[in-house]
């Protein structure tokens, strides 16, 4: 371990890694200056991580020198603490090879099926190289916009807030990793290069009361070639809504609906009516796949906000 990383005892790390037989991902909590948030996140993770600790070794990566954050991280024997005091990339040498790195913000809590979710997703990522990262977060994941905890979506917008990527992708990105705002940095086309992301309908960062047995689920529909056909089919079956008062019209229709927008201002106007995120980044609305943003309103009805080129991108001729 290079000198820029303090408080990381190489021998201790060696012993921790020696105990790991079949790792799925290194769990990295990124922290800076909020010791209280860090403690809440650590406790939430340890509640479900202890049973699978050999698969998910836990690390706290601290940026800066806040003494309370350092003290809090070092008070837990179940994790390894790393402290970064300059902007140079951290170099580590570890025995064995972890399949993926999983990163968590220090103000998060996790759902009971959190680790099962990522283990199932890791197998998917190994098969489909067009998936850049898997996230446990949905920007439009508030309870009034979701219904089915077993549904996952592909997205062209990096969700952030609890995510996993493969070691090969990390090796590609880490030399140019930014000092700050890395979530927005990952949303730039020049960095994700057209690769996509997996996100849940119901966030796996909070306990909404239902544990999904992810290992028993068939996630093959999320493979790129299958998903575009799957998504196009459910979109075609949604009833189109035109004109003003989209919210009122959607509420009076049985089944799924779709609302077409002309451009970014038009999307923002419609999204504002429903109360979902209006933000775009590098030409992509939050949560969008092929320009389509999907949410429930009211549940279980799905609402699709459809871009001007979405049908073309999805191979939909006419409906």
Give the tens place of pLDDT for each residue, 8-34. Answer: 333 344 445 445 456 778 899 988 888
66/141 Cα distance (integer angstroms): 32
Average pLDDT over residues 280-292: 96
Give the tens place of pLDDT for each residue, 162-201. Answer: 899 998 998 999 899 887 777 889 999 898 999 999 999 9
Identify the residue with better confidence: 104 or 83. Answer: 83
pLDDT-above-70 percentage for the chain: 85
Q: Is residue 20 within 8 Å of residue 27, measured between CB atoms?
A: no
Identify the residue with better confidence: 87 or 271. Answer: 271
The three-state secondary structure class of 289 is strand
pLDDT number for residue 93: 39
Average pLDDT over residues 216-236: 97
Give the tens place of pLDDT for each residue, 27-70. Answer: 999 888 889 989 999 998 998 888 888 888 999 999 888 899 99
Please identify which residue in the block is written with the tokens 């940026």.
63
Looking at 183, 184, 218, 263, which residue is catalytic? 183
Give the tens place of pLDDT for each residue, 138-162. Answer: 999 999 999 999 999 999 999 988 8
**Strand 58-63 relative to strand 131-135: parallel, antiparallel, unpaired?**
unpaired
For the record, the structure tokens of 218 come out as 């068939």
The reply to whether 77 belongs to the active site is no
Identify the residue with better confidence: 277 or 207. Answer: 277
pTM: 0.84
pLDDT number for residue 32: 85
For the record, the structure tokens of 271 come out as 């999204």
- Residue 77: is it exposed, middle or buried by C-beta count within 10 angstroms (0-12/13-18/19+)? exposed
pLDDT band at 1 (very low <50, low <70, confident <90, very high): very low
């Amino acid at each position: 371990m290079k000198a820029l990383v303090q408080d990381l005892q190489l021998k201790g790390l060696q012993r921790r890694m020696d105990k790991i037989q079949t790792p799925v991902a290194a769990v990295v909590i990124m922290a800076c200056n909020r010791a209280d948030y860090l403690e809440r996140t650590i406790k939430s993770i340890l509640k479900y991580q202890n049973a699978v600790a050999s698969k998910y070794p836990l690390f706290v990566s601290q940026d800066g020198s806040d003494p309370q954050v350092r003290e809090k991280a070092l008070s837990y024997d179940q994790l390894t603490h790393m402290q970064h005091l300059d902007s140079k990339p951290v170099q580590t040498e570890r025995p064995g090879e972890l399949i993926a790195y999983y990163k968590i913000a220090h103000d998060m809590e996790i759902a009971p099926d959190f680790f099962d979710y990522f283990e199932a997703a890791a197998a998917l990522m190994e098969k489909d190289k067009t998936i850049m990262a898997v996230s446990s977060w949905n920007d439009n994941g508030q309870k009034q916009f979701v219904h089915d905890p077993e549904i996952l979506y592909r997205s062209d917008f990096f969700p952030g807030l609890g995510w996993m990527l493969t070691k090969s992708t990390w090796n590609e990105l880490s030399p140019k990793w930014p000092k700050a705002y890395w979530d927005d940095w990952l949303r730039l086309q020049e960095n994700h290069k057209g690769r996509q992301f997996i996100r849940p309908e119901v966030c796996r960062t909070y306990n909404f009361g239902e544990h999904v047995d992810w290992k028993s689920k068939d996630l093959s529909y999320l493979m790129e070639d299958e998903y575009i056909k799957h998504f196009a089919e459910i979109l075609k079956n949604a009833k189109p809504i035109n004109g003003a008062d989209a919210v009122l019209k959607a509420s009076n229709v049985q089944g799924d609906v779709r609302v077409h927008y002309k451009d970014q201002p038009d999307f923002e106007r419609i999204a504002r009516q429903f109360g979902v995120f209006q933000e775009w980044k590098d030409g992509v609305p939050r949560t969008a796949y092929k320009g389509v943003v999907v949410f429930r309103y009211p549940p279980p009805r799905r609402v699709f906000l459809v871009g001007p080129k979405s049908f073309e991108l999805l191979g939909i001729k006419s409906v």
